[in-house]
Homo-oligomer: A and B are copies of this chain.
Amino acid sequence: MTEKYTVTFQPDNRQVIVEKGETVLNAANKAGIYVHNICGGDGICGKCRVIIKSGDVNTEPTHFLKREEIQKGYALACTSYVENDLVVEIPAESKLEDEQILVKEGKSISLDVITREFEPSDAGMSPTQRLFRHGPLSTKLHFILPKPSLSDTVSDLERIYREIRRELNVPIMQTGLAVIKKLSQTLRDADFEITATLGKRNGTVEIFMIEPGDTSKHNYGLAIDIGTTTIVVQLVDLISKKVLSSKASTNKQTKYGDDVISRMIYAGEKEGLEHLHDAAVDTINRLVGYAVLETKVNLSDITTVVCAGNTTMAHMALNVDPTYIRKEPYVATTNYFPVIRAAEAGIRINPRGLLSCIPGVSSYVGGDITAGVLASGLFLEDELAILLDVGTNGEVVLGNKEWLVSASCSAGPCFEGAGVKCGMRAAKGAVEKIEIEKNFDISWNTIGNSAPRGICGSGMIDMISEFVDAGIINKAGKFDASLKTDRLRQTDEGLEFVIANANQSGRGQDIVITQADITNILRSKAAIFAGIRTLIIKMGLSFDDVKKFYIAGGFGNSLNIPKAIGIGMLPDLPHERYSFIGNSSLAGAKLALLSYDALKEIEKIAEKMTYIELSADNAFMEEFMAAIFLPHTDSNLFPSLRKP
C-alpha cells in the first residue's frame, strides 16, 4: 500500500490526505486551495511559492528561489513532493484572489446593451443606443412531446422538428448522426420529455444535443479572450446573461516565446504547433476548471464557446498551421474559422458543444480587434474615432460608421506585465498609480488596496511620467546615476530603482524597475504612438479630426490619460475625447456569445475593415525612432505639454 500523509494548508487550516510523492500543488488543488501559477505546474514560472512550516518535501532544484528563501522554508509547490505530514503556508503573493478582469462597462455600447431584451420599439433608436437581441449561439428548449400513435406516426426526429417549429421560425434544421443514432431510445427512456439544444452553425440551425428531462434552465457559455500573454475566460449564464465567473492567467504558450513571432518560429519545429496548441488549450481548460469549481456549474451544461484572439492565437488554438503569417507577404491560412465542436479543439465543455472563433481582418489584425470594434461601438460612430488595443501587440483601428482601417504596431507585451521584471497584469495587488515626491518618497495605489505584488500597465505610465518629473530618468529614459537616493542601486545587470521594498511588498521581494524595463516601456509607447500617427497621415487626416479615442487592453482601470499623453504614448487630444474600455476583445466575445446578431455584426465589421501593413513601412519606422523619447523628438506634436 502507498503511504499516505496529511497536508495542512495555512492560513485556512484546510487539510487533505495525499499519497507520498504527490506534489504540494496537487495537494492544494485537492484541498480546494488555489496556488497561483501561470505555467500550469511545469516548474517554469516560479510563481507557486509556498512555505513549508513543518514536515519534509523532496524538491527539484530551482533558480526561482534564493538560498535564504529556501532556508526560510520557501519551496515551489509544483516541484515539491510530499515525504511525510506537512504544514504548508500559502503566502499572500501565491494566493488567487479575485482578479480584476479588464472589462469596464458603461462607457461604450458594449456590455450594458445586452442586458435587456430587444423590443420592437428599439428599432428607431440612435445608433449608439442600438441593442443586439438576446439570442445566444446555443439555445435549450424543453419539450413534452406528444407520443407517437397510429394516427401520429411521424418519425422521432420530425416529431422534435415539428415541436420546435411551433415555437421558432427555423427554415432549415440539421441534426448530426451522433444524436440520431440513439435518439429513439433516448426519447422513450425519457418518456418523450426532453431538452433539445439548438446551435446556429453554417447558416442553419443544428440540434446538437437531446437530453432527457428538462435541463433548459442550465445553459452556459464561455467568452474567451486568447491573448498572446494572458488568457481570460468568462463563464456566462446564457439565460440570465450574467457573468458567473471570470478567470485569467498567463497563456502557457509563453514558455515557447514572449511574442507571436517567436511562437510562430517554434510552431515550425517538430511538433511545435501541437505543443503550442496544447499549451493554449491547457490554459483554457484550467481556467474553465476553476470557473466551474467556483460556480458549481456542470461542464456538460456549457454548450458554447466564443473565442476572440489575434490571428496567430486563433490559428494555434485550432491547431491550424500559422507558418505563413510571419513570412512576407504575411498571409494567414484563414481569417474566418468554421464553427466546430469545442471538443475538436480540445476544449472541455459538453462534448457536442460548439466553438466559434471571431473572424479577423488580416494576419496582424485579428478577431480580438473586430470584437473590440463591436464592443466599443466605433462602427456606429458618425464622426472619426480610434480604437487602440494595447495587448502584446498594439493594434489601431481608425474610422466611423462608413469606413474602417486598421494597423498593427509591434508594441510588445510590457503593459500586460511581461518583459518588465516586476510587471504584472492588472489584477489584485498590482500598482496602478504612483506618485514620487521630491525626496523620492513613493506612494502608490494598488488594485484591491492590498500590498503591492507588481506593476501593471497604468502604473508603468504613471511611473515613467513621475520618473521624468522627479529627474530620476532623462528624456531619453536613462537613469541619472548621480541621484542621491538608496532607491537607485547598481546590480550585476545595471541600475535599478526600488519602488517598494520586500517588507512592504506582497511579493516577499523588492519591487524594482530596471534600466532594461524602462527601455522596453519606451519602445512600446513609441510603437503605439508611431502606429497611430502613421495611420492618421496615410488617411490624409490629422489628430484633431479624431473626436473619440477608445483605449482597450491590459492597463488597468486607472489609466491616467494626461500622464499617457505626457510620456508621448497617446496623441495630445482634449482629455474628454478619451475613454478606457478595458478588455474589449473579451467584451466583444461575450456580446457574440449572447447575441448571434452581434456575431453577425462582427462578421460585417471584419469584411468592411481595411488593413494597412506597417511592418515594412519606412514612414512607420521613422515615426517610431522619433517617438523613443519623452514625450517625443518633435515637441510641436504635444503643444499642451509646453511650459507656459
Residue in B149, B204, B344, B611 whose CB lies within 8 Å of A203: B204
A519 within 8 A of B: no
Q: Are B177 and A331 in contact (CB under 8 A)?
A: no
- What's the minimum C-beta distance from A371 to chain B, rounded to whole angstroms? 18
Residue in B155, B338, B611 whose CB lies within 8 Å of A177: B338
- What's the minimum C-beta distance from A277 to chain B, rounded to whole angstroms? 10
Give Cα A616 to B149, complex, Å.
Answer: 13
Residue in B153, B157, B336, B340 whose CB lies within 8 Å of A330: B153
- What's the minimum C-beta distance from A347 to chain B, rounded to whole angstroms? 13
Residues of A321-372 whose CB lies within 8 A of B = 321, 323-324, 328-338, 340, 344, 362-363
Q: Are B319 and A185 in contact (CB under 8 A)?
A: no
- What's the minimum C-beta distance from A321 to chain B, rounded to whole angstroms? 5
- What's the minimum C-beta distance from A116 to chain B, rounded to whole angstroms? 31
Q: Are A321 and B182 in contact (CB under 8 A)?
A: yes
A125 within 8 A of B: no
A320 within 8 A of B: yes
Given contacts A204-B202, A324-B156, A613-B150, contact A344 B184 (CB under 8 A): no
Copy total for this chain? 2
Give Cα A344 to B330, complex, Å.
Answer: 37
A180 within 8 A of B: yes
> A330 contacts which chain B residues (CB < 8 A)?
153
Residues of A168-188 whose CB lies within 8 A of B = 172, 174-177, 180-185, 188
Residue in B182, B188, B320, B331 whose CB lies within 8 Å of A181: B320
A32 within 8 A of B: no
> A188 contacts which chain B residues (CB < 8 A)?
324
Give Cα A185 to B318, complex, Å.
Answer: 16
> A157 contacts which chain B residues (CB < 8 A)?
333-334, 336
Residue in B156, B172, B203, B616 whose CB lies within 8 Å of A150: B616
> A336 contacts which chain B residues (CB < 8 A)?
155, 157-158
- Tell me if A's interface is mostly helix, strand, loop or mixed: loop
- What's the minimum C-beta distance from A269 to chain B, rounded to whole angstroms? 15
Q: Are B362 and A331 in contact (CB under 8 A)?
A: no
- What's the minimum C-beta distance from A146 to chain B, rounded to whole angstroms? 12
Q: Are A156 and B613 in contact (CB under 8 A)?
A: no
Closest to A183 in B: B333
Q: Are A150 and B329 in contact (CB under 8 A)?
A: yes
A127 within 8 A of B: no
Q: Are A613 and B153 in contact (CB under 8 A)?
A: yes
Residue in B156, B329, B333, B613 whose CB lies within 8 Å of A332: B156
Give Cα A183 to B363, complex, Å.
Answer: 15
Q: Are B362 and A153 in contact (CB under 8 A)?
A: yes
A154 within 8 A of B: yes
- What's the minimum C-beta distance from A13 to chain B, rounded to whole angstroms? 48
> A328 contacts which chain B residues (CB < 8 A)?
150
Q: Are A318 and B184 in contact (CB under 8 A)?
A: no
A148 within 8 A of B: yes
Closest to A330 in B: B153
Give Cα A334 to B157, complex, Å.
Answer: 5
> A344 contacts which chain B residues (CB < 8 A)?
177
Residue in B156, B204, B340 whose CB lies within 8 Å of A334: B156
> A335 contacts which chain B residues (CB < 8 A)?
155, 158
Give Cα A319 to B336, complex, Å.
Answer: 34
> A156 contacts which chain B residues (CB < 8 A)?
324, 331-334
The 3 closest A-B pairs by CB, nearest first: A157-B334, A155-B332, A148-B331
17 contacts between A and B (CB under 8 A): A149-B329, A150-B329, A155-B332, A155-B362, A156-B324, A157-B334, A157-B336, A174-B202, A177-B337, A180-B333, A182-B321, A183-B321, A183-B333, A184-B323, A184-B324, A202-B204, A204-B204
The chain A residues found within 8 Å of chain B, CB to CB, are: 148-150, 152-158, 172, 174-177, 180-185, 188, 202-204, 318-321, 323-324, 328-338, 340, 344, 362-363, 611, 613, 616
